[in-house]
Amino acid sequence: MTFDVRLPIGLLFLVMGLLVAGAGLTGGPAVDRGGLNIDLIWGAGMAVFGAAMLLLAVVSR
Amino acid sequence: MKLGGVDWGVLGLYLVFVLGIGIVASRRAKSGSDFFLAGRSIPAWVAGLAFISANLGAQEVIGMGASGAKYGISTAHFYWIGAIPAMVFIGVFMMPFYYGSKVRSVPEYLRRRFDEKTRALNAVAFAIMTILSSGVSMYALAKLIQTLHVLDIPFERLGLPQAWIFHTAIGVSAVVVLVYIYLGGLRGAIYNEVLQFFLIVAGFAPLVWLGLKQVGGWPGLETTLGPSYTQAWHGMAHAATNRLGVDWFGLSMGLGFVLSFGYWCTDFLVVQRALAADSMTAARRTPLIAAGVKMFIPFIVILPGLIAIALTAAPDKAGATAHPTAAAGHVQQHDPGVIPIKIDAATGKPMLDAKGNPQLDYDLATPNLLLRYFPTGMLGVGLTALLASFMSGMAGNVTAFNTVFTYDIYQAYIRKDADDAHYLHVGRLATAFGIAASIAAAYVVGQFNNIQDFLQLTMAFVNAPVFATFLLGMFWKRTTGHGAFTGLAVGILTAAVHHGLTLPLDNIPGLKGGWITVVHTYPSEMAQNFWTAIWAWSACFVVTVAVSLVTKPSPEAQLAGLTYSLSPKISEAHGPWYGRPAVLGVVILAAVVVLNIIFR
């Protein structure tokens, strides 16, 4: 079975995104940038991207 | 800088995954072909992203941000008339020869097309350049970690001297890159380069988003900075009326043709990624996929520089100024902004330009923007993106070095007839040697503050004429080995002589040129570089043709698959018409024309 590089990329982005989004949820005003909770928004985006990569890898396998 | 627990977690997670990929890839690095060319089994999209990522090192991420702050959106010429056309050319026209001839390296192509001496000249020059480049990446990473005070607090808590931070940064980056290449070979490097590409985008895209939000979007940048910063072709009719100090002909020929084609079409660092593709079709699509993505890279590496200069000063509301550094420097005295004044490490005083104005430290444009916008959490992602870019640059150089050293130096001149397992072992030792030599180079770079200029200069001398050699070799079967070698040598010599006879404005004779005597002054260093390349390429082309006409060509039977007229034409009848390399190439070039029109 060949190694699918989407697996580690998906897993890394999922875990990293959740970590960053978690910091956004608990960070309070310190993570606010111009009215945006950048940690929460970008962290969630990274986690969704990671989940999509994982799903793609599993489906194509 | 104070990193939170989440930041350290993100950085640690990245290092664990990078090493894990190296370990997984090691299970398939059982032969020379596996280790040096990933068993020619990499899908096109993976090879394409690795093709970009191997080039997204320190010079690109930090250097392009700095150039964006200094020259504005004109910096995108390095992509839109430089890299992209060259990547389309190699994908459509040159990959059939590289991949079809089954060569293991670019110098090996030169041996089969020409002769041993041409291969030796290219292989030795390339091996030295890759080690120096890798050392520069390593030095830049350690210097940045020191400058941003990333490790100050942990070192303080552990009671370690701050002076060790530089050595620790070099040691850790070297060990991580060594482990994943030593174990996984090119496959480990390519998989990690794809991961690093996504991390670089994830780390820099939000920086641009937040920055543009603060400055009022692109219209806000246009209002703050004026046309010379925000119009790529502004004042290009004459060198004196634009920030680059280059006229349109010097830019199009020197950068767009000679230097870009010389790098993207012949540099083994990037060509190696395409050679690892799993089929001829995938190999041809590799640079095309890379080009399709790379045309948008300016938006994440150059825009941070424009945003940083907009937040530092408003130096150009009135239009173009001949000396952007000085102009920005004047304003800098009143507004510290994002980009600090460059400080002389020896005296601790601000560094001044030729007119006595303080210089800005443009290299800190992107890192300082990152510190300004990212809270804990995103700061870890941003720093990981920086780390990923430096590591991909280092790894790209080391994998290219170990292949060229093993096949083009060791097998060619030291031990010709050993078995495959022996060369695999030598490849791993060459990896360790390459990393050790890179560390030594990093410390040499730190000792001599001009060595980076020297490296750039030498690369320009060597890279400029080489595309003429390949162009003639692939498309004119009459080109001979004697012609190629003589042309290359004369091209390099011409570059050196041209540099020795010319000088950029406001410079003193020495490393910047004029070391023979000054017969011509260029309006900028960039103009001098581009014209040096034009002269070197032209000399190489003319001499190669002249010498080839009076020397005996190789028998045609030896050139099958190596030159255009003696190679079987590739049938593109199978597969959809829109997937053909020529069609993809036209679409990519059309998209680049559109980008040039939008940002004209």
Written as one string, the DSSP assignment of B66-131 is HHHHHHGGGGGHIIIIIIHHHHHHIIIIIHHHHHHTT-SSHHHHHHHHT-HHHHHHHHHHHHHHHH
pLDDT at residue A3, as a whole number = 79
- Contact list, B25 vs chain A (CB under 8 Å): 3
Are the C-beta atoms of residues B78 and B55 closer than 8 Å to each other? no
Cα B40 to Cα B22, B146, B186, B275, B304: the distances in Å are 17, 40, 10, 7, 37
Contacts of A9 in chain B (CB under 8 A): 194-195, 198
Give the pLDDT score at B109: 96
The DSSP-derived string for B404-421 is IIIIIIIIIII-SS--HH
Give the mutation candidate from A5, A13, A56 for the B interface (greatest B CB count, under 10 A). A5
The strand pair at B520-522 and B502-504 is best described as: parallel
Q: What is the pLDDT of residue B329?
A: 35
Q: Chain B residues with CB inside 8 Å of A12's CB?
A: 13-14, 17, 195
Q: What are phi and psi of B233, to 5 degrees?
A: -105, 15
Write out pLDDT tens, residues A36-49: 899 999 999 999 99
The CB density around residue B494, as the number of other CB atoms within 10 Å, is 22
Q: Which residues contact B582 (CB under 8 A, 6 or more apart)?
A: B92, B572
Q: Which residue has the tokens 């069609």?
A: B583
Q: Does A36 touch chain B (CB under 8 A)?
A: yes
**CA-based nearest residue to B365, from B418, B328, B406, B318:** B328
Residue whose entry in the numeric block shows the structure tokens 């020929």:
B253
Contacting residues for B400 by C-beta, under 8 A, at least 6 apart:
B126, B130, B268, B269, B272
Q: Which of B6, B41, B214 sits opposite A20 (nearest CB)?
A: B6
Contact, B499 vs B528, CB < 8 A? yes
Give pLDDT, residue B322: 35
Q: B6, B14, B24, B186: best mutation site toward chain A, by most A Cβ within 10 Å?
A: B6
**For residue A32, what is the nearest residue in chain B, using CA coordinates?**
B375
Instruction: Count CB neighbours of B536 within 10 A.
Output: 33
Distance from CA of B130 to the nearest CA of A (A): 27
| Beta carbons of A38 and B202 less than 8 Å apart | no
Parallel, antiparallel or unpaired: strands A36-37 and A32-33: antiparallel
pLDDT of residue B252: 93
Please name the residue that has the structure tokens 């060949």.
A2
**Contact between residue B341 and residue B358 where contact means Cβ atoms under 8 Å apart:** yes
Distance from CA of A19 to the nearest CA of B (A): 7
Residues 6+ apart with CB under 8 A from B5: none
Q: What is the pLDDT of residue B449?
A: 60
The Cα–Cα gap between A45 and A49 comes to: 6
Residues with pLDDT less than 50, chain B: 314-335
Helix, strand, or coil (residue B352): strand
Please report which confidence band the pLDDT of residue A2 belongs to, taking 50, 70 and 90 as the band edges.
Answer: low
Which among B165, B442, B130 has a CA at the least distance from the CA of B268? B130
